[in-house]
Amino acid sequence: MSVRKVKGKTGVFDIVISCGYGHEEKDGKQTRKQKRHTQRVECVDMLQAIAIEKELKRQLGRAGNIIMTVSEIALLYIPWVESHQATSTVKNKKRMLFANILPFFGRMIPDYIEAPIIDQYKKKRLEETKRGKINREINLEILCLKSLITFGSDPGRRYCNEPNGKMKPLPYRRPLPEVLSKEELDTILDNMGPKHRILYYCLYHTGLRSAEARNLRTQDVHFNPDFLRVKGKGGKTRIVSMSPKLTQMIKNWIESRPVGGLCFPSRVKTKGTGVLTDIRAPLRHAMQKAGITKRVTPHMLRHSFATHNLDAGVDLRTIQEMLGHESITTTTIYTHVSLVNQQSAINRTFGDKNA
Protein backbone atom coordinates (compact mmCIF):
# COMPACT_ATOMS: atom_id res chain seq x y z
CA MET A 1 0.00 0.00 0.00
CA SER A 2 1.46 3.40 -0.98
CA VAL A 3 -0.57 5.39 1.57
CA ARG A 4 0.30 4.80 5.22
CA LYS A 5 -0.85 6.37 8.47
CA VAL A 6 1.95 7.95 10.48
CA LYS A 7 2.01 6.34 13.91
CA GLY A 8 1.18 8.64 16.80
CA LYS A 9 -0.01 11.49 14.54
CA THR A 10 -3.74 11.80 13.90
CA GLY A 11 -4.63 12.77 10.35
CA VAL A 12 -1.07 12.51 9.05
CA PHE A 13 -0.21 10.16 6.18
CA ASP A 14 2.90 9.24 4.22
CA ILE A 15 2.47 8.80 0.47
CA VAL A 16 5.16 6.76 -1.26
CA ILE A 17 5.04 6.45 -5.06
CA SER A 18 7.37 4.23 -7.04
CA CYS A 19 8.94 6.07 -9.98
CA GLY A 20 10.75 3.14 -11.57
CA TYR A 21 14.44 2.28 -11.37
CA GLY A 22 17.61 4.22 -12.05
CA HIS A 23 21.37 3.66 -11.81
CA GLU A 24 23.89 5.29 -9.53
CA GLU A 25 27.63 4.89 -9.28
CA LYS A 26 29.11 3.75 -5.98
CA ASP A 27 32.73 2.74 -5.49
CA GLY A 28 33.17 2.73 -9.25
CA LYS A 29 30.28 0.32 -9.77
CA GLN A 30 26.88 0.91 -11.35
CA THR A 31 24.04 -0.17 -9.07
CA ARG A 32 20.33 -0.36 -9.85
CA LYS A 33 18.17 1.57 -7.41
CA GLN A 34 14.42 2.12 -7.14
CA LYS A 35 13.28 5.72 -7.32
CA ARG A 36 10.53 6.85 -4.98
CA HIS A 37 8.58 10.06 -4.47
CA THR A 38 7.71 10.48 -0.78
CA GLN A 39 5.38 13.11 0.63
CA ARG A 40 3.82 13.60 4.06
CA VAL A 41 0.33 15.11 4.08
CA GLU A 42 -2.33 16.11 6.60
CA CYS A 43 -5.80 14.80 5.70
CA VAL A 44 -9.24 14.38 7.19
CA ASP A 45 -9.19 10.64 6.51
CA MET A 46 -7.61 7.86 4.46
CA LEU A 47 -9.90 8.57 1.49
CA GLN A 48 -8.62 12.13 1.19
CA ALA A 49 -5.04 10.84 1.37
CA ILE A 50 -5.77 8.36 -1.42
CA ALA A 51 -7.25 11.16 -3.55
CA ILE A 52 -4.01 13.17 -3.07
CA GLU A 53 -1.99 10.07 -3.99
CA LYS A 54 -3.93 9.68 -7.23
CA GLU A 55 -3.31 13.29 -8.19
CA LEU A 56 0.41 12.97 -7.42
CA LYS A 57 0.59 9.87 -9.60
CA ARG A 58 -0.97 11.80 -12.46
CA GLN A 59 1.53 14.64 -12.02
CA LEU A 60 4.45 12.21 -11.93
CA GLY A 61 3.22 10.27 -14.95
CA ARG A 62 2.65 7.14 -12.87
CA ALA A 63 -1.11 6.98 -13.41
CA GLY A 64 -1.12 3.77 -15.48
CA ASN A 65 -2.23 1.42 -12.69
CA ILE A 66 -4.28 3.79 -10.55
CA ILE A 67 -6.93 2.01 -8.54
CA MET A 68 -10.34 3.57 -9.23
CA THR A 69 -13.03 4.65 -6.80
CA VAL A 70 -16.43 2.95 -6.76
CA SER A 71 -17.96 5.92 -8.64
CA GLU A 72 -15.29 5.75 -11.35
CA ILE A 73 -15.83 2.01 -11.81
CA ALA A 74 -19.61 2.58 -11.89
CA LEU A 75 -19.22 4.82 -14.96
CA LEU A 76 -17.80 1.80 -16.80
CA TYR A 77 -19.92 -0.84 -15.08
CA ILE A 78 -23.31 0.64 -16.01
CA PRO A 79 -22.74 0.51 -19.82
CA TRP A 80 -21.52 -3.08 -19.41
CA VAL A 81 -24.69 -4.00 -17.49
CA GLU A 82 -26.84 -2.30 -20.15
CA SER A 83 -25.31 -4.45 -22.90
CA HIS A 84 -25.11 -7.76 -20.99
CA GLN A 85 -28.14 -7.96 -18.67
CA ALA A 86 -31.92 -7.84 -18.86
CA THR A 87 -33.75 -4.49 -19.00
CA SER A 88 -35.38 -5.03 -15.61
CA THR A 89 -31.98 -5.87 -14.06
CA VAL A 90 -30.45 -2.72 -15.55
CA LYS A 91 -33.28 -0.60 -14.17
CA ASN A 92 -32.98 -2.08 -10.67
CA LYS A 93 -29.18 -1.80 -10.56
CA LYS A 94 -29.25 1.83 -11.67
CA ARG A 95 -31.83 2.62 -9.00
CA MET A 96 -29.75 0.95 -6.28
CA LEU A 97 -26.50 2.55 -7.44
CA PHE A 98 -27.71 6.13 -7.73
CA ALA A 99 -30.10 6.12 -4.77
CA ASN A 100 -27.95 4.46 -2.10
CA ILE A 101 -24.70 2.74 -3.13
CA LEU A 102 -22.82 5.61 -4.80
CA PRO A 103 -23.80 8.30 -2.25
CA PHE A 104 -22.26 6.10 0.47
CA PHE A 105 -19.43 4.18 -1.25
CA GLY A 106 -18.77 6.43 -4.26
CA ARG A 107 -15.54 8.09 -3.02
CA MET A 108 -14.17 4.85 -1.59
CA ILE A 109 -11.51 2.61 -3.10
CA PRO A 110 -12.88 -0.97 -3.27
CA ASP A 111 -9.71 -2.32 -1.61
CA TYR A 112 -10.59 -0.47 1.60
CA ILE A 113 -14.24 -1.57 1.80
CA GLU A 114 -14.10 -4.08 4.64
CA ALA A 115 -16.66 -5.62 7.01
CA PRO A 116 -16.90 -2.60 9.40
CA ILE A 117 -17.76 -0.27 6.48
CA ILE A 118 -20.38 -2.71 5.18
CA ASP A 119 -21.86 -2.85 8.70
CA GLN A 120 -22.00 0.96 8.79
CA TYR A 121 -23.92 0.92 5.50
CA LYS A 122 -26.42 -1.64 6.79
CA LYS A 123 -26.98 0.40 9.96
CA LYS A 124 -27.50 3.61 7.99
CA ARG A 125 -30.01 2.02 5.61
CA LEU A 126 -31.96 0.39 8.45
CA GLU A 127 -32.13 3.63 10.43
CA GLU A 128 -33.20 5.88 7.57
CA THR A 129 -36.20 3.85 6.40
CA LYS A 130 -39.72 4.15 7.75
CA ARG A 131 -41.07 1.22 5.75
CA GLY A 132 -40.26 -1.45 8.29
CA LYS A 133 -37.70 -4.16 7.62
CA ILE A 134 -35.88 -3.87 4.31
CA ASN A 135 -33.29 -6.59 4.85
CA ARG A 136 -33.82 -8.13 1.41
CA GLU A 137 -33.47 -4.75 -0.32
CA ILE A 138 -30.23 -3.99 1.54
CA ASN A 139 -28.89 -7.47 0.70
CA LEU A 140 -29.56 -6.83 -3.00
CA GLU A 141 -27.68 -3.52 -2.75
CA ILE A 142 -24.68 -5.25 -1.17
CA LEU A 143 -24.82 -7.90 -3.91
CA CYS A 144 -24.90 -5.13 -6.54
CA LEU A 145 -21.82 -3.50 -4.97
CA LYS A 146 -20.03 -6.85 -4.93
CA SER A 147 -20.88 -7.39 -8.63
CA LEU A 148 -19.48 -3.95 -9.46
CA ILE A 149 -16.21 -4.69 -7.64
CA THR A 150 -15.98 -8.14 -9.27
CA PHE A 151 -16.42 -6.43 -12.65
CA GLY A 152 -13.66 -3.94 -11.82
CA SER A 153 -11.25 -6.59 -10.56
CA ASP A 154 -11.48 -8.70 -13.72
CA PRO A 155 -7.92 -9.48 -14.95
CA GLY A 156 -8.72 -7.79 -18.25
CA ARG A 157 -9.58 -4.52 -16.48
CA ARG A 158 -7.68 -4.24 -13.18
CA TYR A 159 -9.59 -1.15 -12.03
CA CYS A 160 -9.35 -2.49 -8.49
CA ASN A 161 -8.45 -5.63 -6.58
CA GLU A 162 -10.83 -8.49 -5.85
CA PRO A 163 -13.55 -8.00 -3.16
CA ASN A 164 -11.90 -7.88 0.26
CA GLY A 165 -13.44 -10.70 2.32
CA LYS A 166 -17.08 -11.70 2.47
CA MET A 167 -19.83 -9.07 2.39
CA LYS A 168 -22.13 -10.72 4.90
CA PRO A 169 -25.84 -10.15 4.18
CA LEU A 170 -28.50 -9.32 6.74
CA PRO A 171 -30.67 -12.20 7.98
CA TYR A 172 -33.66 -12.63 5.71
CA ARG A 173 -36.30 -15.33 5.46
CA ARG A 174 -38.19 -15.37 2.22
CA PRO A 175 -41.99 -15.31 2.83
CA LEU A 176 -44.05 -18.26 1.65
CA PRO A 177 -45.72 -17.70 -1.75
CA GLU A 178 -49.43 -16.90 -1.72
CA VAL A 179 -51.51 -19.28 -3.82
CA LEU A 180 -55.01 -19.16 -5.29
CA SER A 181 -57.33 -22.15 -5.52
CA LYS A 182 -58.38 -23.47 -8.92
CA GLU A 183 -61.93 -22.33 -8.22
CA GLU A 184 -60.82 -18.77 -7.44
CA LEU A 185 -58.70 -18.65 -10.58
CA ASP A 186 -61.50 -19.94 -12.82
CA THR A 187 -63.88 -17.33 -11.41
CA ILE A 188 -61.43 -14.48 -11.97
CA LEU A 189 -60.40 -15.56 -15.48
CA ASP A 190 -64.01 -16.05 -16.58
CA ASN A 191 -64.64 -12.36 -15.84
CA MET A 192 -61.85 -11.06 -18.13
CA GLY A 193 -61.97 -9.93 -21.74
CA PRO A 194 -60.58 -12.30 -24.42
CA LYS A 195 -57.04 -10.87 -24.69
CA HIS A 196 -56.37 -10.62 -20.97
CA ARG A 197 -58.06 -13.97 -20.25
CA ILE A 198 -55.65 -15.75 -22.64
CA LEU A 199 -52.68 -13.80 -21.29
CA TYR A 200 -53.57 -14.77 -17.71
CA TYR A 201 -54.06 -18.39 -18.77
CA CYS A 202 -50.45 -18.21 -20.01
CA LEU A 203 -49.40 -17.15 -16.53
CA TYR A 204 -51.39 -19.92 -14.85
CA HIS A 205 -51.06 -22.84 -17.31
CA THR A 206 -47.34 -22.34 -18.10
CA GLY A 207 -45.98 -20.50 -15.04
CA LEU A 208 -44.65 -17.60 -17.10
CA ARG A 209 -43.56 -14.38 -15.44
CA SER A 210 -45.60 -11.31 -16.31
CA ALA A 211 -42.85 -9.81 -18.50
CA GLU A 212 -42.36 -13.14 -20.30
CA ALA A 213 -46.05 -13.35 -21.21
CA ARG A 214 -46.30 -9.68 -22.20
CA ASN A 215 -43.28 -10.02 -24.53
CA LEU A 216 -44.45 -13.31 -26.06
CA ARG A 217 -44.45 -13.17 -29.88
CA THR A 218 -46.50 -15.24 -32.32
CA GLN A 219 -43.33 -16.93 -33.63
CA ASP A 220 -42.66 -18.15 -30.07
CA VAL A 221 -45.86 -20.22 -30.12
CA HIS A 222 -45.59 -23.71 -31.64
CA PHE A 223 -48.17 -26.40 -32.33
CA ASN A 224 -47.81 -30.17 -32.82
CA PRO A 225 -46.07 -30.43 -30.41
CA ASP A 226 -47.62 -27.59 -28.42
CA PHE A 227 -45.09 -25.43 -26.62
CA LEU A 228 -43.86 -21.87 -26.04
CA ARG A 229 -40.30 -20.72 -26.58
CA VAL A 230 -39.80 -18.28 -23.70
CA LYS A 231 -37.02 -15.75 -23.26
CA GLY A 232 -36.58 -15.41 -19.51
CA LYS A 233 -34.27 -13.70 -17.04
CA GLY A 234 -30.79 -12.93 -18.28
CA GLY A 235 -31.86 -13.63 -21.85
CA LYS A 236 -32.03 -17.38 -21.18
CA THR A 237 -34.43 -19.32 -23.40
CA ARG A 238 -36.53 -22.26 -22.20
CA ILE A 239 -39.23 -24.47 -23.68
CA VAL A 240 -42.58 -24.73 -21.84
CA SER A 241 -45.36 -27.12 -22.87
CA MET A 242 -48.93 -25.84 -23.22
CA SER A 243 -52.04 -27.46 -21.80
CA PRO A 244 -54.74 -28.54 -24.31
CA LYS A 245 -57.02 -25.73 -23.12
CA LEU A 246 -54.36 -23.02 -23.51
CA THR A 247 -53.31 -24.47 -26.88
CA GLN A 248 -56.81 -24.11 -28.30
CA MET A 249 -57.34 -20.66 -26.80
CA ILE A 250 -54.07 -19.19 -28.06
CA LYS A 251 -54.43 -20.87 -31.48
CA ASN A 252 -57.84 -19.27 -32.01
CA TRP A 253 -56.50 -15.94 -30.75
CA ILE A 254 -53.48 -15.89 -33.06
CA GLU A 255 -55.57 -16.91 -36.08
CA SER A 256 -57.86 -13.92 -35.48
CA ARG A 257 -54.94 -11.47 -35.26
CA PRO A 258 -52.49 -10.10 -37.86
CA VAL A 259 -49.59 -12.45 -38.57
CA GLY A 260 -46.38 -11.74 -36.68
CA GLY A 261 -45.58 -9.41 -33.80
CA LEU A 262 -46.62 -9.60 -30.17
CA CYS A 263 -49.30 -12.05 -29.08
CA PHE A 264 -50.83 -9.50 -26.71
CA PRO A 265 -49.97 -6.02 -28.04
CA SER A 266 -50.93 -2.82 -26.27
CA ARG A 267 -53.64 -0.75 -27.93
CA VAL A 268 -51.46 2.31 -27.22
CA LYS A 269 -47.82 1.84 -28.15
CA THR A 270 -45.49 2.28 -25.19
CA LYS A 271 -42.13 3.83 -26.05
CA GLY A 272 -42.49 2.43 -29.56
CA THR A 273 -42.56 -1.21 -28.37
CA GLY A 274 -46.28 -1.93 -28.18
CA VAL A 275 -45.68 -4.11 -25.08
CA LEU A 276 -48.33 -4.04 -22.37
CA THR A 277 -47.05 -2.22 -19.28
CA ASP A 278 -49.87 -2.72 -16.77
CA ILE A 279 -51.87 -5.95 -16.58
CA ARG A 280 -53.10 -5.33 -13.04
CA ALA A 281 -56.04 -3.16 -14.09
CA PRO A 282 -57.89 -5.98 -15.93
CA LEU A 283 -57.18 -8.24 -12.94
CA ARG A 284 -58.76 -5.72 -10.54
CA HIS A 285 -61.83 -5.32 -12.77
CA ALA A 286 -62.29 -9.10 -13.03
CA MET A 287 -62.01 -9.48 -9.24
CA GLN A 288 -64.63 -6.80 -8.70
CA LYS A 289 -67.00 -8.59 -11.08
CA ALA A 290 -66.29 -11.91 -9.34
CA GLY A 291 -66.77 -10.39 -5.88
CA ILE A 292 -63.28 -11.41 -4.72
CA THR A 293 -61.79 -8.93 -2.23
CA LYS A 294 -58.52 -10.66 -1.21
CA ARG A 295 -55.20 -9.33 -2.46
CA VAL A 296 -54.24 -10.92 -5.80
CA THR A 297 -51.25 -10.13 -8.04
CA PRO A 298 -50.28 -11.44 -11.51
CA HIS A 299 -47.26 -13.23 -9.97
CA MET A 300 -49.58 -15.28 -7.73
CA LEU A 301 -50.67 -17.20 -10.85
CA ARG A 302 -47.07 -18.37 -11.30
CA HIS A 303 -47.01 -19.47 -7.65
CA SER A 304 -50.34 -21.25 -8.18
CA PHE A 305 -48.98 -23.01 -11.29
CA ALA A 306 -46.02 -24.38 -9.35
CA THR A 307 -48.02 -25.43 -6.30
CA HIS A 308 -50.87 -27.06 -8.26
CA ASN A 309 -48.32 -29.03 -10.34
CA LEU A 310 -46.63 -30.18 -7.15
CA ASP A 311 -50.01 -31.22 -5.73
CA ALA A 312 -50.65 -33.21 -8.91
CA GLY A 313 -47.47 -35.22 -8.35
CA VAL A 314 -45.12 -33.46 -10.78
CA ASP A 315 -41.50 -33.81 -9.62
CA LEU A 316 -39.61 -30.77 -8.40
CA ARG A 317 -36.94 -30.91 -11.12
CA THR A 318 -39.56 -30.67 -13.88
CA ILE A 319 -41.23 -27.72 -12.14
CA GLN A 320 -37.82 -26.05 -11.87
CA GLU A 321 -37.31 -26.39 -15.63
CA MET A 322 -40.79 -25.07 -16.45
CA LEU A 323 -40.35 -22.05 -14.16
CA GLY A 324 -36.85 -21.33 -15.44
CA HIS A 325 -35.24 -21.33 -12.00
CA GLU A 326 -31.45 -21.48 -12.16
CA SER A 327 -31.26 -23.33 -8.84
CA ILE A 328 -33.65 -25.97 -7.54
CA THR A 329 -33.29 -24.34 -4.11
CA THR A 330 -35.57 -21.55 -5.38
CA THR A 331 -38.19 -24.09 -6.42
CA THR A 332 -38.20 -25.96 -3.11
CA ILE A 333 -40.10 -23.10 -1.46
CA TYR A 334 -43.28 -24.50 -3.05
CA THR A 335 -42.94 -27.70 -1.03
CA HIS A 336 -43.89 -25.65 2.04
CA VAL A 337 -47.23 -24.52 0.58
CA SER A 338 -48.26 -27.79 -1.04
CA LEU A 339 -50.89 -28.85 1.50
CA VAL A 340 -52.12 -31.73 -0.68
CA ASN A 341 -48.68 -33.36 -0.64
CA GLN A 342 -48.37 -32.77 3.10
CA GLN A 343 -51.78 -34.33 3.77
CA SER A 344 -50.94 -37.28 1.52
CA ALA A 345 -47.71 -37.88 3.45
CA ILE A 346 -49.55 -37.72 6.79
CA ASN A 347 -52.19 -40.16 5.52
CA ARG A 348 -49.54 -42.62 4.30
CA THR A 349 -47.81 -42.51 7.66
CA PHE A 350 -50.71 -42.43 10.09
CA GLY A 351 -53.65 -43.67 8.03
CA ASP A 352 -56.45 -41.94 6.16
CA LYS A 353 -58.70 -39.88 8.43
CA ASN A 354 -61.75 -41.44 6.71
CA ALA A 355 -60.55 -44.98 7.29
Q: Please identify every residue annotated as catalytic.
A: 209, 233, 299, 302, 325, 334
C-alpha 334/C-alpha 300 separation (Å) is: 12
In this structure, the dihedral spanned by the alpha carbons of residues 79, 85, 88 and 89, taken in order and rounded to 10 degrees, is -80
Start-end of H helices in the chain: 46-59, 70-84, 87-96, 102-105, 115-128, 135-152, 182-190, 194-206, 210-214, 244-255, 280-290, 299-311, 316-323, 328-331, 339-350
The single-letter code of the amino acid at 272 is G
Pick from 259, 244, 267: which is nearest to 196 by CA?
267
SS (H, E, C) 312-355: CCCCHHHHHHHHCCCCHHHHHHHHHCCHHHHHHHHHHHHCCCCC
**Spatial strand order in the sheet of 227-231:** 221-222, 227-231, 237-241
Pick from 280, 319, 262: which is nearest to 200 by CA?
280
Residue 36, strand partner residues = 18
Contact 134, 125 (CB under 8 A): yes
